[in-house]
Amino acid sequence: MKVLANDGMSNAGIDKFKTAGIEVITENVPQEQLAQYINENKIDALTVRSATKVRKDLIDACPALKVIGRAGVGMDNIDVAYARSIGRTVVNTPAASSISVAELAMGHMLSVARMLCDSNNQMPLEGESNFAGLKKKYAKGKELQGKTLGVIGFGRIGQALAKKAIGMGMKVMFYDPFITTAVTITMDFFDGQKVSFSIEPSTLEQVYKNADFISLHVPSQEKPLIDAQAIAKMKDGVIIINAARGGVVDELALLQGIESGKVAGAGLDVFATEPTPNVHILMNEKTSLSPHIGASTTDAQDKIGIEIAENIIAALSK
């Protein structure tokens, strides 16, 4: 059997396939040549990340393709329902990258709260000549301890972030339209101790009204979840974090909120117009930015490779 990992795969995942006697091809085939390549090389399973699109036309053009795997969480680039309706197996790796994304969101929270991003930019330019001035400028940061984090979307990543926040001494509240009862968060410590916390769901209105930090962990939306109306309902000085999907935050409304002082700052890993983000977002000194790297740690990629390999091996064995 053959697997085409068109957007690459970690060595850990490749080794997992090899152990199962499955050949892995890591050649990156251009989108327009993909159907022909899959058919000519008798590919049984295709794995993709976010670059390759697996739409109806590709699925129909490759009748021998048995399994489609998304090495990641979101499957926006795959016509999942259609593929499954005609008997193809579609798998992803919902758990593998949770820690990496949650830690990046926490990193952005700290960066914005202490103005580290702008400080880091200005220190090489003015640190020698204007140290006292910069010290005064960046001396009005916020502590996370004692503040309230509102998590919108309380799946694996949202819950992983909640654990980080609790560890920092924060109060956590969440909104998730699919969760209507309390969620128990269990934290595992280095010495084997476990501590559990029960968190009741809140409404969006409650999150907006009470949260000092708001972090989004939701799939793509038809329209922005955070817009001007939502921002108007938030606490003054709120910090907004988006490590979910571009477009779930109205970036123009976000900028207006920052400029008015309603929003203290924002941490963004995803953007509405990737790969060419809004230049005003990029240049704003109150934003902490990263280029869609939430799941891009070596640890996460190894976990993703192993998990997608296990899922595909199981599917091909049926």
User: Which stretches within 127-243 are classed as H helix?
Assistant: 131-137, 156-167, 204-210, 228-232
Q: Among residues 274, 280, 285, 310, which one is catalytic? A: 274
Reference 189, options 170, 169, 163, 156; nearest CA is 163
Reference 46, options 308, 310, 318, 317; nearest CA is 308
Q: In which region does residue 182 sit, left (phi positive, over 0), alpha (psi from -120 to 50) or beta (all else)?
A: beta
> Cβ neighbours of residue 2 under 8 Å, at least 6 residues apart?
22, 23, 24, 25, 41, 42, 43, 44, 45
Q: Among residues 23, 114, 292, 310, which one is catalytic? A: 292
Reference 291, options 303, 300, 282, 301; nearest CA is 282
In 3-state terms, what secondary structure has residue 28?
coil
> Cβ neighbours of residue 296 under 8 Å, at least 6 residues apart?
100
Contact yes or no for 307/301 (Cβ under 8 A): no
222 as an active site residue: the answer is no
Contact yes or no for 297/6 (Cβ under 8 A): no
285 as an active site residue: the answer is no
Q: Among residues 70, 108, 217, 245, which one is catalytic? A: 245
For the chain, the straight-line distance linking the first and the last C-alpha, in angstroms and rounded, comes to 13
In 3-state terms, what secondary structure has residue 203?
coil
245 as an active site residue: the answer is yes
Residues annotated as catalytic are 245, 274, 292
